[in-house]
Amino acid sequence: MLSPSAGEKCGLGFTHLCEINRKSGYFVVKRKTARKRKRAKLADMKQQLRLRMHAPVRESGEWLRSVLGGYFRYHGVPGNFRTLASFRGAVSWLWLRTLRRRSQQHRMPWRRYYELERRFLPRVPTYHPFPEQRFAALHPR
pTM of the model: 0.80
Give the angle 55-59-65 at the CA atoms, nearest 5°. 130
Amino acid letter, residue 38? K
- The domains of the chain are located at 35-138
Residue 111 to residues 96, 102, 115, Cα–Cα distance (Å): 12, 18, 6
69-120 tens-digit pLDDT: 999 999 988 888 999 999 999 999 999 999 988 877 777 888 999 999 999 9
Helix (H) or strand (E) holding 43: helix 35-51
Helix (H) or strand (E) holding 65: helix 57-75
Q: Is 91 within 8 Å of 41 (Cβ atoms)? A: no
DSSP label at residue 10:
-
